[in-house]
Structure formats: C-alpha cells, structure tokens
C-alpha cells in the first residue's frame, strides 16, 4: 500500500473540536424540534420523537468546536453558514454500515440477475444510499468474480454526505469492519495496510476505478445518472415518512431499465405505494 496520499490517513478521523467547553450540552425539546424540522427540510429525514439522545451526541462536538453555550446558538449558526448546514446534514444522516450486509441480496444478485444479463451491454448498478462505500465495494467484488472480463460493468454510489463520499472514494477501511468479507474475496480484492496504515485495509485499485461516487440528495430532483439494471436502496427508507418515501422510490424506479431489480432493506416496506414494481422475493422488486 502506498503512503502518497495523506487523505487516506485522515478520512477516518472525526472533525477535531477546537478548545472549548468540556461538558456535554443538553438538548431542549424546543431545540430538538428545530433541528428535527431542519433535517426534514434539508434531507427529507424524519427523526421522529425518539432521537433526541442521538442528535445530542452527534452535534455536541460542533458546539464545542464553536465554543457555543447551547443548541439554540447552534441552530442560529445553521441559518447563517452553508458549510455548517452541510456538516450538520453529514452528522445526522450518516448510518452504520458494513461489508456484505444482508447477504441474501448478494446471493440473489449472483444467482438470479447476473446470469441473464446480455454480454454486449454494460451492466450498471446504483448503490443509492452507499454511505462510506462498503455496500458498493461488496457488490463490485461479486460483479468482478461473476463477470470477469466477459462483461463490462460499473457501479455508481451516492450519499447525501460529502464527508462520507470522500471515505467511499478512498476505499480505505479499518480492519475490524471487514469481518463479513468472504476469505477468497478478501485475498483477491483487498490490500492489507502496513506501517502507518497498520490496522487498515484498502480496496483493490481496479474495483475503486470501476466504482464512481457522488453526493446526491435522493429527496430532490435527480441528476442525469443514466439507466441501471439494478438499484440497491437499503436501510435508508426507514428514515422518511410515507409520502417522501413513495416519491423517492418512484424517482429511483424511473432510472431502472424495464425488468430491472430494486433491493430494499429487510426492515423496510413499500406497502400501500402506487409503484410500477412486482415483489419477486423478500424485499426484492422487479420493474414492470
């Protein structure tokens, strides 16, 4: 593993606070409602009534960074700073993820989808809530293993967080996060860090070059990203209310080729939605 790019050593570090109050500030009900409304307007995420502790823990470091006395002052700052609004969105929208999460989808992709793809067409797949890239690179391993050089393929990953997208592009992960990667894939597609990278693992350069990542807010008009054979939209719908969820899914389905496949998370549902999709397996849909 090369040591040339200092970004690789820095992307897994949280924003370091400047010297400020050491105590943790409490989040009043009024301040929580203001921040809840903010993240709903900016990202379509409905935090509900039970995420007050999560918001407190994630945003307290920003109060310390600016040496603010309370969350009311921080919310005022959000209305004045575009950079801080993006930072708050990053912190409140980042979800825990790991390689080969919900493995049934990867097996279905391999056994039911890839085998029927025409060899003369590029296989395009969108990891629409890719977070820090583990899902996209898991898929990349499956595609390269199945297709080899017989079929050209590419992966597009997106997330609302610019900070998380930077991590995904770098493809560098702490070693404890890769336990679910099959041993064969681990040896073929991952490079173990040494020296200053001890305890880290870098995804193979070829997979990184075939995986493109971009910052996208899925609740707003989608950019021109082309059409896809498969879209993974997993473990993100649970954060939206019903109307936002239906609008979001309908927009993404418009980017699926006829007969294309949509995967959602096992804790999610598209029940009572008017969508051009057929349920073909648990949390697996085909575009009509």
**pLDDT for 195 beyond 90:** no
Give backbone dihedrals phi and psi of 133, rounded to 5 degrees, phi first.
Answer: 100, -5
Q: Is there a contact between 230 and 126 (Cβ–Cβ < 8 Å)?
A: yes
Q: pLDDT higher for 50 or 113?
A: 113
In this prediction, residue 210 has a pLDDT band, given cuts at 50, 70 and 90, of very high
How far apart CA 183 and CA 250 sit, in angstroms, is: 37
Tokens of 280: 């073909």
Which of 212, 252, 216, 250 has its CA nearest to residue 233? Answer: 252
- Residue showing tokens 């390689």: 99
User: Computed from CA positions of residues 140, 145, 149, 150, in that sequence, does the dihedral angle turn out positive or negative?
Assistant: negative
Task: Output 45 or 12, whichever has higher pLDDT.
Answer: 45
How do residues 222-252 score in pLDDT, each as one tens digit?
999 999 999 999 999 988 999 999 999 999 9
Mean pLDDT of 166-185: 92
Average pLDDT for 199-210:
95
113 or 40, which is more confident: 113
- Tell me the average pLDDT of the chain: 88
Ranges 15-19, 211-215, 251-255: which has the least confidence: 15-19
CA 125 distance to own-chain centroid: 14
Strand partners, 201: 173, 192
**Integer Cα distance of 86 and 160 in angstroms:** 9
Spell out the residues 6+ positions from residue 149 whose beta carbon is closer than 8 angstroms to its own: none
Q: Which pLDDT belongs to residue 20?
A: 39
- Among all residues, which ones are annotated catalytic? 58, 159
Cα four-point dihedral sign 16, 203, 180, 267: positive
In this predicted structure, what is the pLDDT of residue 21? 41
Give the closest residue to 129 by CA, choosing from 216, 202, 43, 64: 216
Tokens of 9: 């050593």
DSSP H helices in 2-103: 7-10, 29-43, 52-66, 71-78, 82-93
What residue ranges define each of the domains in the chain, with the CATH number in brackets?
Answer: 7-92 (1.10.155.10), 104-171+209-287 (3.40.50.150)
């Amino acid at each position: 593993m090369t040591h040339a790019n200092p970004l690789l050593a820095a992307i897994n570090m949280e924003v370091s606070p400047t010297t400020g109050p050491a105590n943790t500030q409490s989040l009043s009900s009024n301040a929580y409602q203001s921040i809840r409304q903010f993240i709903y307007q900016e990202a379509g995420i409905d935090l509900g009534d039970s995420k007050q502790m999560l918001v407190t823990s994630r945003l307290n470091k920003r109060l310390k960074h600016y040496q603010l006395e309370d969350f009311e002052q921080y919310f005022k700052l959000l209305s004045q700073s575009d950079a801080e609004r993006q930072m708050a969105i990053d912190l409140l929208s980042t979800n825990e993820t790991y390689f080969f999460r919900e493995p049934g989808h990867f097996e279905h992709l391999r056994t039911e989808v890839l085998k029927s793809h025409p060899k003369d067409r590029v296989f395009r797949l969108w990891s629409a809530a890719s977070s820090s890239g583990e899902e996209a690179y898991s898929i990349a391993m499956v595609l390269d293993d199945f297709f080899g050089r017989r079929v050209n393929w590419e992966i597009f990953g997106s997330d609302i967080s610019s900070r998380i997208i930077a991590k995904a592009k770098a493809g560098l992960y702490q070693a404890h996060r890769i336990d679910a990667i099959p041993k064969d894939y681990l040896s073929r597609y991952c490079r173990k860090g040494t020296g200053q990278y001890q305890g880290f693992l870098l995804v193979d350069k070829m997979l990184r070059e075939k995986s493109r990542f971009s910052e996208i807010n899925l609740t707003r008009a989608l950019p021109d990203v082309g059409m896809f054979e498969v879209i993974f939209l997993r473990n993100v719908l649970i954060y939206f209310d019903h109307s936002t969820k239906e609008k979001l899914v309908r927009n993404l389905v418009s980017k699926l080729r006829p007969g294309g496949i949509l995967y959602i998370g096992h804790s999610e549902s598209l029940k009572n939605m008017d969508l051009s999709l057929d349920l073909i397996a648990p949390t697996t849909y085909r575009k009509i």
